Amino acid sequence: MSGFSPAWLALREPADRAARNRDVIARCALTFAARSSLKVCDLGAGTGAALRAFADLLPGEQQWTLVDRDPENLAGALTALEAWADKALRHDAGLTLHHGLRRIEVRTEVLDLARDPACWPMDSDLVTASALFDLTSAAWIKRLVAALAAGRRPLLATLTADEKIAASPPHPLDKKVAAAFRQHQSRDKGFGPSAGADAGRFLEQTLEAAGYALTAGESPWVLEPSELLQATVEGMAAAAAEIGVAGDELAAWLEHQRENTKQLIVGHRDVFARIL
Ligand SMILES: C[S@@+](CC[C@H](N)C(=O)[O-])C[C@H]1O[C@@H](n2cnc3c(N)ncnc32)[C@H](O)[C@@H]1O
């Protein structure tokens, strides 16, 4: 299962939904509560999980532009959204969905955000991104925030991974594997040297410096034994192996995680930012 495959995104979607910070999401919802319609652009949209998570909290008429560089994920988004909607109509421009009382127009755009972060339609009311910022670099975050601020555009960025990883019961190699995993996270993921576990805080500082008012908080996964927990520890072990942690050490660590881990906490941060 690759880091961005539709199968991985489907596996993590329920945990993401449970993890998102309630105060951050509520502030975003409140900001647009008086509106009857909203145009949203979701960066690194994957299979459309953010739309499914936020649509019920936003105004009745919505237009979403889903941007991703992976056409397979965007094709998966249309299929998953059709399944999620009460009623769906495919047309040349994308999809028209009805979900509860919401009517939602969806279009997709295959695009490399690394080239130009400011890819949203000029009339977008809100830019969103989920599980994206830890892949990006400090330089890219600065470019993105400058472009957002130029249009005084609000941003809702959820599930930016931070440094917290805690398994219980603990294992003597936990720190070594976590450090190697974090080192792997800070490799270039296509945006320049990745901000990795510092991305969330750096994003918040950059937004504040650009005049944004923030509502921010933690949004950790709290995983119990499950397929997602297994896939997460396997991903950590694979990353640690690439960094150079010895195979026999990793095999022992992985066996412990598979057999004994009762809870795994994986930290993230969420932020809603707007210029008042
Ligand atoms: C961890 S996934 C998150 C997907 C989705 N936001 C979610 O929460 O399920 C990161 C997404 O960013 C996309 N992505 C990564 N680098 C990108 C780039 N340079 N340009 C556009 N999309 C990119 C990947 O294809 C993937 O769909």
Q: Return the residue whose CA atom lies nearest to atom 25 of ligand 1.
A: 70
CA of 256 to the centre of ligand 1 (A): 31
For residue 3, which atom of ligand 1 is closest to its CA?
1
**Best mutation site among 2, 8, 9, 64 for ligand 1, i.e. most ligand atoms within 8 A of its Cβ?**
9
How many whole angstroms separate alpha carbon 52 and alpha carbon 266? Answer: 22
How many whole angstroms separate alpha carbon 265 and alpha carbon 133? Answer: 19
Structure confidence at residue 88 as a pLDDT band (50, 70, 90): very high
Any ligand 1 atom below 6 A from CB of 220: no
> Percentage of residues in the chain with pLDDT exceeding 70?
99
How many whole angstroms separate alpha carbon 63 and alpha carbon 266? Answer: 32
Cβ proximity of 21 and 265 under 8 Å:
no
pLDDT, residue 205, reads 98
CA-wise closest residue to 79 among 101, 110, 47: 47
How many whole angstroms separate alpha carbon 223 and alpha carbon 266? Answer: 8
Amino acid (one-letter) located at 8: W
Domains of the chain are: 6-162+194-220+269-274 (3.40.50.150)
**What is the mean pLDDT of the segment spanning 109-123?**
96
For residue 114, which atom of ligand 1 is closest to its CA?
19
Any ligand 1 atom below 6 A from CB of 112: yes
pLDDT, residue 2, reads 59
**What is the mean pLDDT of the segment spanning 121-144?**
97
**What is the mean pLDDT of the segment spanning 140-166?**
97
Structure confidence at residue 172 as a pLDDT band (50, 70, 90): very high
Bridge partners of 63? 39, 105
Residue 53 confidence (pLDDT) above 60: yes
**Best mutation site among 16, 135, 188, 268 for ligand 1, i.e. most ligand atoms within 8 A of its Cβ?**
135
Residue 225 confidence (pLDDT) above 80: yes
pLDDT, residue 191, reads 96
For residue 132, which atom of ligand 1 is closest to its CA?
10
Any ligand 1 atom below 6 A from CB of 46: yes
CA-wise closest residue to 135 among 186, 181, 182: 186
Any ligand 1 atom below 6 A from CB of 188: no
Question: 74 Cβ partners below 8 Å, 6+ apart?
Answer: 45, 66, 68, 108, 109, 110
**Best mutation site among 42, 64, 70 for ligand 1, i.e. most ligand atoms within 8 A of its Cβ?**
70
pLDDT, residue 3, reads 72
